[in-house]
Amino acid sequence: MGKYTYESIGEVLEENTLTVLVDSDCDMAIISLNDICIMEGNDWDFHNGCNGMYDMPEFNNIEELKNIIIQYIESLGKQVTYTTGTYSYE
């Protein structure tokens, strides 16, 4: 993969927590790294063009975005814990 940075995800720490929260009542989701929101939207919003995340490889859903972020953090030799949960979009 070589050297690269993904400015879209913000600062990567030595130990990181990647969180995906879902509101299934309105098909909304949020993905955050270390409690900082990276992206929030409807299921169909999770692609590079929605928020101009062109510094990252192509993704077309939240699962693909999650995997890209995890692989990126691990490629830096840093730790990442993945958690999931629910939230209420208002």
5 in a domain, yes or no?
no
Going from the C-alpha of 11 to that of each of 15, 49, 59, 65, 75, the distances in angstroms are 11, 21, 20, 16, 14
What's the total number of domains in the chain? 1
Task: Kindly give the confidence (pLDDT) of every residue in the chain, 90 residues in length, as a single tens digit, with 9 standing for 90 and above.
Answer: 334 568 878 889 999 999 999 999 999 999 999 999 999 999 889 998 887 888 889 999 999 999 999 999 999 999 999 999 999 998
29 in a domain, yes or no?
yes
Whole-angstrom distance, CA of residue 2 vs CA of residue 21: 31
34 in a domain, yes or no?
yes
Q: Which residue has the tokens 């098909």?
A: 27
Domain that holds residue 40: 16-86
Model pTM score: 0.88
- List, in sequence order, every residue forming a beta bridge with 30; answer none if it has no partner: 21, 40
Whole-angstrom distance, CA of residue 50 vs CA of residue 47: 6
